[in-house]
Amino acid sequence: ALAPGCGWVLPGLQQRLAVPAVLSPATARPYAAAAKTAKKDAKRPRQEKVKEKPPPRRRLLMSKPVDDVYLTWLYRRPSYELEQAVGMLKEFQELDFTHPKQFVYINVFLDMALQKKKKVDPFSSSVALPHRFTDEVNKVLVFTENEQEAEVAREHGAAIVGGVELIKWILEDEIQADFYVAVPAIMPKLIPLRNKLKRKYPSTHRKSLGSDIPQMLRFFRECLEYAVEDENIIKTRIARLDMPAEHIIANLKTIIHDICTFKPSNFDPIVQRLVIRSSTSEGLLLNLDGILPQVEKVEEKEEENAVDEDEQKPASQESVST
C-alpha cells in the first residue's frame, strides 16, 4: 500500500504499478491458450481412430424359426406360393370374423433400371381381367361427329358422346370421364386436349382410338386401371376374397403379365417383389416362380437355328451330288 504521509512506496508495488492497465487474454491467462491447443491435439487422434474403425457387421438373418414365438427381425421374411397365400388369406378372414367380400390387393415393387443410367418411365395401363369382381362401371366419353356412330355409342353404354363442342367443357373441367375414346376422323380437331388429357388422350397404343366403338366401350367400361406410384410401386386391387382361389390367381397373373410388357425381355424382370393381402390381413410375400411370364432368350433361339441349318446343309449337298 501507498504511504502518502511518509512519502515512500513499497519496492514490489512499484513494479506492479508499471504494468499497463489493459492486458491481452493470452498474456493475462497463458494457461487458457495452452489448454485449448491440448484439447485440439487430444481430439485429432480420436477422430482418426473413429475413421479407421470399420463399420459394424450386420448380423445374418436366420431362415426359419424353430419356436412359435420369435423375434421377427432376426429372421428372413418368409415367402409363399401363390396358391398357399390365397388359402391363408381366406383362413385369416374366417379366424378374424371379418367381412368375407373384402377386396384383395397386391403391392408390386418394380426394378425400373435399364442400361447405364436409363430407367423405365413411370407408366399406367388398363387391363381386362378374366373374372370381374365388382359391379362398378367406368365412365367413358366418346368423341365422334357422325350421328350413326354417336347412336351406337349411346346404345353400348357411353356416358358422354359429342364432338368439338366438348373441348371447351373439358378444358374448363366442366366435363370429366375415366376414359376418353375417339374415332380417327375427329383426331385432328382434338389436338388442344393433348396437354390436358395427357395419358388419357386417345391413341392406338392404348386401344382408345379406332373405328370399333362397341369393342372400345366394352373394354374401357369394365377394365382395371393401374399406375406406378413413388417411381417404382404399383398398388391395386385384383379380386374379392370370397371368389374362388382359381379366379383370384388368374386375375393376379393377368395383371403381372401386363406389367412385364413395359420392360424389354433382355433385361432383368421388372417385377422385383410381390405382396398380396386383403383389406384386413397382413401382407404375404409371394414366391415369383410360376407367376412371371416365361421369356425365351433370343440368343438361345439363334443358336438352335444355327445348329438346325448346319444339320440341314450336308443333307442338301448329298441331294445335289446325287
Question: Cβ(125)–Cβ(205) under 8 Å?
Answer: no
CATH class of the domain defined by 80-111+232-294: alpha beta
Q: Which three cell numbers stand for residue 318?
A: 448329298
pLDDT in the model for residue 299: 45
pLDDT in the model for residue 164: 96
277 has which bridge partners?
Answer: 105
Q: Which three cell numbers stand for residue 230?
A: 413413388
| Domain range summary for the chain, segments of one domain joined by + | 80-111+232-294, 135-222
Name, in order, each residue with C-beta under 8 angstroms of 193's C-beta and a sequence gap of 6 or more: 167, 170, 171, 201
Asked if the 135-222 domain carries CATH number 3.40.50.790, the reply is: yes
Q: Would the CATH topology of 80-111+232-294 be identical to that of 135-222?
A: no
Whether the model pTM is above 0.85: no
Rounded to whole angstroms, the Cα distance separating 316 from 112 reads 48
Rounded to whole angstroms, the Cα distance separating 214 from 155 reads 9
pLDDT in the model for residue 316: 44
Rounded to whole angstroms, the Cα distance separating 202 from 126 reads 13
- The burial of 252, by beta-carbon neighbours within 10 Å (0-12 exposed, 13-18 middle, 19 or more buried), is given as buried
- Region of 230 (left: φ > 0; alpha: ψ -120 to 50; beta: rest) is left
pLDDT in the model for residue 33: 55
Among 135, 90, 131, smallest CA distance to 278 is for 90
pLDDT in the model for residue 298: 45
Question: Cβ(208)–Cβ(218) under 8 Å?
Answer: no
Question: Over its length of 322 residues, how does the chain's per-residue pLDDT go in tens digits?
Answer: 445 554 555 555 555 555 555 555 545 555 555 555 655 555 555 555 555 566 666 666 676 777 777 777 778 888 999 999 999 999 999 999 999 999 999 999 999 999 888 999 999 999 999 999 999 999 999 999 999 999 999 999 999 999 999 999 999 999 999 999 999 999 999 999 999 999 999 999 999 999 999 999 999 999 999 999 999 999 999 999 999 999 999 999 999 999 999 999 899 999 999 999 999 999 999 999 999 998 664 444 444 554 455 545 444 444 444 3
